[in-house]
Structure 1
């Protein structure tokens, strides 16, 4: 992990060398030099060109080795095949930071990957901090540093952009110029061969100019580190993520674009919840939150008053609020009294009715801003003959300095100029009220989850005997699995393990019982190696004989488990190692999991609030709470088992996968009836 000191020179270099600088318009080396000059970058710009001695009025050098002074940062835009030799020269010059603009590396196939590996080796040996390759560049608006070939330099703001796609970077910059949205830092990560999002999160967490971080991403280089650094950053500043590659087609396109493998999209969503990252479903949502966080003044809370000149938009807002679980508070008696001349039956949303004049808006907005129970006012307007949109826009701009006002001027031609005026005057304005409510609800969700304590460590002391057993195996028998899970307190039913019927004390067995293979096999039914509800000794002996034959037939060691039959609700609990860590899955067994996919997942470790959330996310949980049957099962014991499972897989990282299928939750206890554990090779 690069430290913040070395990253500092990427954003605040005192001197920068452009290797591949050019006098030819249309070339990347020309654009970068021009951008640095035009942005009034305070540091020294040093063009490097093997042929020209003067680049755009600046003295040029044939190599960084010929520059008679220290260089903080190199921006490299030469052909891919000579980039490694150029980086070696930078290392010789003791340049520790670089931005490699050049494409033609890992994203282009086998030869490009080889070239990228060669580059990695040089950079690692010389302990350099490098952005790219295949990047648009880096921008810092605070000091006029435009180390990119973008055609746009954004205005200064409080949002940082970290994007894997240079084209998306360009689109965001162009959108921001139109919408008057400002940025603090702008980072095009490129192929992420060296620095990645985790490094930038580390830096941006401490950056005083950055209040929120927006990320466009197609792949995750180091998922566990990404999760750790994102969680740390999100404790202080919201992270808004647009992660593409959600479908198979999208993953295929992402791989051809970046050369990197995508991650199971469901697990990305689980990771976002763990770290409190706001994951967007579209670029529209991404842009909406960017505008809101860029322009909206700090608000105390999310108690929103809505004012409108028509009933329809008010109903739409109420529906949108309900959909996104966003509450619109009731007005106080004082507020209702103050607006009764406008609407004698005032409620939230406040309908000013179709003949509302600008003065009615002014009165309503002032009253709502004065209400201490209201944090933000949302003004809706539709083009009506009595309502002058331009005048209402003027009123909103003037009053926005008191308590924040958002707006949605709904329509087309009649409201286009007022909408543009509001945006130009730094008022948050959405084309439709649904978009405004959704953006607010997403932001409220971030702050609500921020208050919930998350745990990232839940290990206990390892048992040396268990460690020894795990070293010698990569698949545990059921007996060994039970020994392991009992170690952390997970309950199992009364079970007798045996290989032949002669080992059993048949007279002591109480029926009914279940018989199954204990070899560690997952799909026992497929092999005829499980039978429940055996009622007597004769049936048991017949089943032992049959399963012994089936075991031999399928080349499975004859080893069996005889269990008491439990009465309870069948539940699935499992843990599997995925990209971001150990993923805990909870769901009701049988059709609920297999057909309905009614499950909830969290990344370990999980705490009480995580478990409560998992239970709430699974519709079948109602069956455990006595729905229809009136039987209430021991949910507290199940919660304890879930936490014990989380502790187990973190304490023993050798475990690759563990599945309890089923777990029986009874009226008094929770029991893992079967456990299949797979270890790492």
Structure 2
């Protein structure tokens, strides 16, 4: 995208001589940024604008241009775009609004713009965007106010208004950017495009992004995984309320909202998700100027006990640790500090500390072999020269090749000290928790970046047998699989189930029960009854022929009375599982952007009330499956407590991987759930399964996605 970020010629279509108009602001920004290439203002009135000769029509330019910027009313945009194509334009920015964000006609115009851009291999940014800024290349093709300083932060945003606010903040805090991009409606260039470009941009050290939706989840994840291995990606995702939960018909569907899918996508691709805008830039400061720590151990030097305790509390809420210093470090601190100073972590220099004390303390603590990074807290005291302290800390840390962060509390007299730290590449925060949060994120990212490659396996399964079941259900016009149909798919994927068979009468139920051996379970078999508990359609622990026959007639009669619309195939007679088994829930639901989202948790109250669940996107690696199991809060119950036997973790991960395989193989399966999966120390049995299918060939998948 060189023609977008480093063009040699730019046409501004809709350039204006009227101050305050968008076309005038874009032209003025290009000139004030020092753009050294050719600029062609286009305005139907002709004349000169900002000292530049104006073309009345695009065709008058008469030569190719790298970048076209269109800032005219919507109805003229498509014609202007076609004229730019005739000039062989490489990239086009459409800042004009009124497209798919407004009405159907606007959507049609935007669709045609995207079609033409893709057909002619032109980079299209927007429409409905602020523009683009390359701070190091003298390009400010935007209608933002002011030119940000050059830096190493690449920023892109779906919201133009947010871009304006961020630029204003950056100008006020002296934060610099390498590239600054407003994506707008993302007709062609989207967040995945920007990740790919900024990931390869040598001027960008850290990438920040704000999005409200992600156009192509799989494309995004593919790029995010590649880029995150090279440089940190921090993103803020707005619009987190899942509207699809109201249409869900399973535990998985009720809990697997789009925001859960986004969290899983970020986690699996190494993207650091940030909840607040101010935190986005607090973290960006750290990542852009400091190297990654080699471990979680943090040394703290402070001149006030309270802030030191706050920092220790923040460590306790994160993965950061406060190690014990070596005897040599403690001895050195003892020799150089007053007897009443605290020599342990955190090192409290007390309120009468001076610049020399700070310099010596950070040097000693920074050299301790147990310390991976250092936090220096400076509380302004009446006799403390903050500028001298800043110089002493910078000089002391010059000898230490470890990340160092500063918490400089107070704003009134700290401007000069903050500037000293900024020039030395030491990020400064107002409060201890902000600094610890930044170090926590940097350590987690370092761990993610250094992890071994993921292991993906495809377990043996009978794809043809499963395909036959799915096709038969689709041909019948039904969307819900009855349990014995779902069991056939479960079996085809090599998952063990308790022995069971379908009974169409009470006598047949008794016959099956005696073949399986008592006790048994009876469950209603009906494609219209997703949740058997709604009709009291399950009987457990049946120990005789009389109990089985009575249960059969009671279940079927009750279901017929409560659901007269339901087709009743009979009852499934199933072998009882071991009394020592624990119940699990494993499921997936197909997310509109990211595809199958898998869910795992303990059954019963843990999923229904506590919502103690974990999520990942398919395909699932072996490591992802293990992480899902360990991530739930009730994990220790699976490990075994008070003498209880641990669950068969290998069997649990096998269920998850086979579920992932099923989700990847069958886009027709919109939603599936194994509930319960009964696990003990020897095996994991899928005791019940339900699935929802859609006819994707008829566009039914889009109808299902519309639920969200």
**Number of the residue aligned with 1:586:** 600
Q: 2:540 aligns with which of 496, 520, 532?
A: 532
**Number of the residue aligned with 1:69:** 63
Task: Compute the RMSD of aligned alpha carbons.
Answer: 2.5
- List per-residue Cα deviations over 1:354-384 (Å, max 9, x = no partner): 2111111121122234445544332111122
2:322 is paired with a residue of what secondary structure?
Answer: coil
Deviation, structure 1 residue 242: 1.2
* Contact 1:458–1:605, Cα closer than 8 Å, also in 2: no
2:101 is paired with a residue of what secondary structure?
Answer: helix
1:538 is paired with a residue of what secondary structure?
Answer: helix
**Number of the residue aligned with 1:255:** none
Deviation, structure 1 residue 326: 0.7
CA–CA separation in structure 1 for the residues paired with 2:468 and 2:298: 60
Deviation, structure 1 residue 392: 0.7
Q: Does 1:8 align with 2:2?
A: yes
| Structure 1: stretches of 5+ with no match in the other structure | 1-6, 252-261
Deviation, structure 1 residue 304: 3.0
Q: Does 1:477 align with 2:482?
A: yes
Deviation, structure 1 residue 516: 1.0
* Contact 2:359–2:395, Cα closer than 8 Å, also in 1: no
1:340 is paired with a residue of what secondary structure?
Answer: helix
Deviation, structure 1 residue 18: 0.7
Residues 630 and 183 of structure 1: CA distance in aligned 2, closer, same or farther (over 3 Å): same
**Number of the residue aligned with 2:700:** none
* Contact 2:58–2:83, Cα closer than 8 Å, also in 1: yes
**Number of the residue aligned with 2:141:** 147
Q: 2:590 aligns with which of 577, 580, 588?
A: 577
CA–CA separation in structure 1 for the residues paired with 2:425 and 2:638: 51
Residues 32 and 655 of structure 1: CA distance in aligned 2, closer, same or farther (over 3 Å): same
**Number of the residue aligned with 2:494:** 489
Matches within 5 A, 1:367-516: 367-371=364-368, 373-399=370-396, 401-403=398-400, 404-415=403-414, 417-419=416-418, 422-423=421-422, 426-453=425-452, 455=454, 459=458, 463-474=463-474, 475-501=480-506, 503=508, 505=511, 507-516=514-523
Residues 263 and 46 of structure 1: CA distance in aligned 2, closer, same or farther (over 3 Å): farther
TM-score between both structures, scaled by the size of structure 2: 0.88
Deviates more, 1:412-421 or 1:476-485: 412-421
Deviation, structure 1 residue 412: 4.5
* Contact 1:181–1:294, Cα closer than 8 Å, also in 2: no
Matches within 5 A, 1:309-388: 309-341=303-335, 342=337, 346-371=343-368, 373-388=370-385
Q: Does 1:664 align with 2:685?
A: no
TM-score between both structures, scaled by the size of structure 1: 0.92
Deviation, structure 1 residue 667: 3.0
**Number of the residue aligned with 2:116:** 122
2:547 is paired with a residue of what secondary structure?
Answer: helix
- List per-residue Cα deviations over 1:127-147 (Å, max 9, x = no partner): 322000111111112211111
Deviation, structure 1 residue 653: 3.0
* Contact 2:456–2:622, Cα closer than 8 Å, also in 1: no
Q: 1:650 aligns with which of 657, 664, 684?
A: 664
- List per-residue Cα deviations over 1:362-409 (Å, max 9, x = no partner): 211222344455443321111223432222123234445444532112
* Contact 2:639–2:646, Cα closer than 8 Å, also in 1: yes
**Number of the residue aligned with 2:251:** none
Q: 2:649 aligns with which of 614, 621, 635?
A: 635
1:133 is paired with a residue of what secondary structure?
Answer: coil
- List per-residue Cα deviations over 1:573-627 (Å, max 9, x = no partner): 1111113121111111111111111111111222333233322332223222222
2:473 is paired with a residue of what secondary structure?
Answer: coil
CA–CA separation in structure 2 for the residues paired with 1:145 and 1:414: 36
* Contact 2:455–2:622, Cα closer than 8 Å, also in 1: no
**Number of the residue aligned with 1:270:** 264
Q: 1:562 aligns with which of 569, 573, 591?
A: 573
Deviation, structure 1 residue 421: 5.1
CA–CA separation in structure 1 for the residues paired with 2:469 and 2:291: 59
- List per-residue Cα deviations over 1:87-131 (Å, max 9, x = no partner): 111122222310001112222234433432343343344332200
| Structure 2: stretches of 5+ with no match in the other structure | 246-255, 475-479, 696-708
Deviation, structure 1 residue 346: 1.6
CA–CA separation in structure 2 for the residues paired with 1:55 and 1:130: 26
Deviates more, 1:185-194 or 1:378-387: 378-387
CA–CA separation in structure 1 for the residues paired with 2:660 and 2:507: 39
* Contact 1:548–1:558, Cα closer than 8 Å, also in 2: no
Matches within 5 A, 1:148-297: 148-247=142-241, 264-296=258-290
- List per-residue Cα deviations over 1:225-247 (Å, max 9, x = no partner): 22222222112111111112234
2:12 is paired with a residue of what secondary structure?
Answer: strand
- How many aligned positions are there? 664
